[in-house]
Amino acid sequence: MGMFDTILIANRGEIACRVIRTARRLGIRTVAVYSEADANALHAATADTAILIGPAPARDSYLNIARILDAARRSGAQAIHPGYGFLSENAEFAAACTDAGIVFIGPPPEAIRAMGSKSAAKTLMQGAGVPLVPGYHGADQDPAHLASEAARIGYPVLIKASAGGGGKGMRVVDDADGFDAALALAMGEARSSFGDDTVLIERYLTRPRHIEIQVFADAHGNTVSLFERDCSIQRRHQKVIEEAPAPGMDPARRTSMGEAACAAARAIGYVGAGTVEFIVEGNEFFFMEMNTRLQVEHPVTEMITGQDLVEWQLLVASGALLPVPQDQLRIGGHAIEARVYAEDPDRDFMPAVGTLTHLQSPAEGAHVRVDTGVRPGDAIGVHYDPMIAKLIVWDRDRPAAVRRLAHALSEYQVVGVQTNLGLLRRIAAHPAFGAAELDTGFIGRHGADLLPRREPAPPAALAAAAMRVLQDRAGTTAVAGSHDPFSPWNLSTAWRMNGDGYQDMLLAEGDTVHAVRAHFCSGASVRLDLPGSAVEIAGDAMDGTRRTTPVVRTGNLLTIILDGTNYPLTLVDPLAPSQAEVEGGDRLLAPMPGRIVDVLVRPGDSVAQGDVLIVLEAMKVQMRLTAPRAGIVGALRAAPGDLVDDGAELVSFVQAEQSPPETP
C-alpha cells in the first residue's frame, strides 16, 4: 500500500488543524467534518473539503459513526485520522472503518479494547509483571462494596472512571465520610462522558509525578520509545503543563521505563502512536493506563526528537516501516507545552464561554510553536472542550526553555473570555517550577502563589482606560461637531470660558467604582486625577515612562492588558439603573449554559451559605452550585434534565417570615 491521496479527519479544533498541516506538507488532500456549531471554524476553513455531519451536540455529529463514514465515502477518503478525544479510542469505530474498506489511522480494534478499560488493562499488565498501584479493579460496582474496598486500600483513595481519560470521572477522597458523594459525582461524569459509569479505586499517592512514554509500533513487529514526557502539573487531574524530557530522569530509569512501555505495546499487538502512562514516586514507577491514540502533548516530543509524529502515523497506517529505529533516536534540548484554556481558575477552573474579541499569540519560529483551532472573533461554546491553544517552546536546556516559556506567555493576549493565562504565567515564574520540584499536587501546594487574590487595577491600567475613553470621545466630537474649524464645538478638551477644563468619568471594577478626572494641559498633555494619585500623560508616556498598554473596548467594557494581566473596567453611565436593581435580589444563577443533573433542595428548605443546591453539568464537567448566603429556598426554576442558559435563575430566596411560592 502506498501513501494515501485523501484522508478525512474525524475531529475538530486544534488537532484537526494540526493534522491538516502535516498532510498538506506531504501533498495529501484533507477532508474536514464539522457540526452546525463549527460551520465557520478554522479546521473547516483550512481543509481542502469540509462536510457538515450534524447538529452541535457531539453525539449527533463528531460521535456519529454512520455520518462520519458516509462523509468519508462521499469524499473519496482512503483513511480516517481520529485525532484525540471523540472516537479516537472507540474500538467499534475502528472496526467500522475496516468493514467499510477505509484505513483507520490508529491501532487495531483489539488493541483499543485491551486498553479501553482501565480495569482490564491493569489486569493485563499485572499478568505481564508490570507494577501496579494498590487498588480495586473488579466488576462489583455496588457502592457499599466499593466503600469497603476503599477502606481496605486505605485513605486517601482515587476514584477513577474505568473507560475514561482527561480527568473526567475522577475524584480524590480523603476519608470515608466523603466517599459516597464523591462516588456519585465520579459515576455521573463517567456516564455522561463515556457512557459507562464503571469505576476503579486506587491508593492516592501523596507526592507522585506523572511520567508517560511515547511509543510507536509498525505492522512489521517494530516498536520504539520516543522517550518520556513529564505531565505532573495538573488541575482536577487534567494536564496543564507538559515537558520533555522529564527533569531528573537518569539514563537507566529512562531505559527501564521505555522497555516496559514497549513491552506493554507488544503484549497487545499494538500498531501506531500510543502513550503508556506511569505514576512515579521515589524510585518506584507504576503502570497507570495506556492511551491508544496521539496525545494532546505530542508536540514536546516532536520538538526534542525532530520527528513529525503525525507523519509517522500516516506512514505506519499506509503499511510502511517505522521511519527511524530506536538506536538512531536522540533527545535534543528541552521543550515545554502550556495548555491555554477558556476557564476561570478562581472558580475551581470552571469552563468559560464567550467570543474571542481580541486574540494575539506569540510570534512562531524555531523556539516557539502555537497549535490552535481558533481565530479572533471565534466563539468558545458550551458543546466542546474549552482549549484555546497549546503554546510550545523549545531551547537548548530546561532553564532556557523555562525563560522562553515565561516570555512567550507574557506576549499572549486574549480578551472576551476568561482564561488560565495568569495561572500559566505564575507557574512559569515560580521558583519551585524553575527548580523542577514537580508532582501532581504542585498547583494545590503552591495555591497561595499561583491563585492569589485578585489585585485591583493599578494606576497605569486606570490611566490607559481613561485615555482610551478620551480618544473615543474626541472622535465622536469630531464627527458631530460644527463645520467651522474655529468653533469651540469642535474642541474635545472640555474647554470652558471661565474655568478649568476637565472631563469626568466613572470606571467600575466589580463593586468598586473609580472616579477619574482628566485635565487638558498645554502641549497636548493630560493630567489624570486618579484615586489616591495623579499622573501626567504625554503621548504614550506616563510620568515620563513609555510603555505599550493595549486596551480592547467592546461597548462600555474596556479590557486593559498590563504586564500580561487583564483588567476589565466598565465605563459607568451615572443615569443607568444599578446592578442590584437590574438583578432584583438574591438568587442562584447558572454560571454557564448546561444541563441540570440534580436538585438537592425543595421550596421551604433552610440552607446555610455554601450548601450544595444544584448539580450542573457543562462541557462534561459536573459542578456543585452552592448557596450564596444563608436563607430559605423560595422558588426552584429548574428540574433535573433541564437545559439552562448562562445567567438563568435557578433558585430564589425569601425572607424567613415569607411563605415560599409553589414551584412551577
What residues are annotated to the active site? Answer: 293
**Residue type present at position 460:** A
Residue 92, CA distances (Å) to 32, 65, 88, 112 in order: 21, 9, 10, 9
Backbone angles phi, psi at 181, to 5 degrees: -65, -40
Q: Of 18, 22, 46, 21, give the one whose Cα is nearest residue 33.
A: 46
Please give the helix or strand (H or E) that residue 276 lies within, else none: strand 272-281
Q: Which residue intervals of 104-176 are DSSP H helices?
A: 109-116, 118-127, 143-153
Cis peptide before 245 (omega within 30 of 0): yes
Separation between Cα atoms, residue 153 and residue 135, nearest integer Å? 6
Residue 597: phi, psi to the nearest 5? -90, -40
The one-letter amino acid code at 115 reads M
Q: What single-letter DSSP state applies at residue 249? A: -
Choose among 477, 474, 472, 461: nearest CA to 554. Answer: 472
Distances from the Cα of 283 to the Cα of 209, 250, 257, 444, angstroms: 11, 11, 12, 23
Half-sphere exposure of 172 (CA within 13 A, CB side): 12
User: Which segments of 302-353 are extended strands (E)?
Assistant: 334-341, 343-344, 350-351
Alpha-carbon distance values, 26 to 5, 33, 279 (Å)? 10, 20, 37
Buried/exposed 367-392: b ≥16 CB within 10 Å, e otherwise: bbbbbbbbeeebbbbbbbbbbbbbbb
* DSSP secondary structure, 566-594, as one string: EEEEEE--TTSPPHHHHHTS-EEE-SSSE
Cell digits of residue 502:
476637565
**276 Cβ contact list (under 8 Å, min separation 6):** 212, 213, 215, 260, 261, 264, 265, 287, 290
Place of cell 502550556: 338
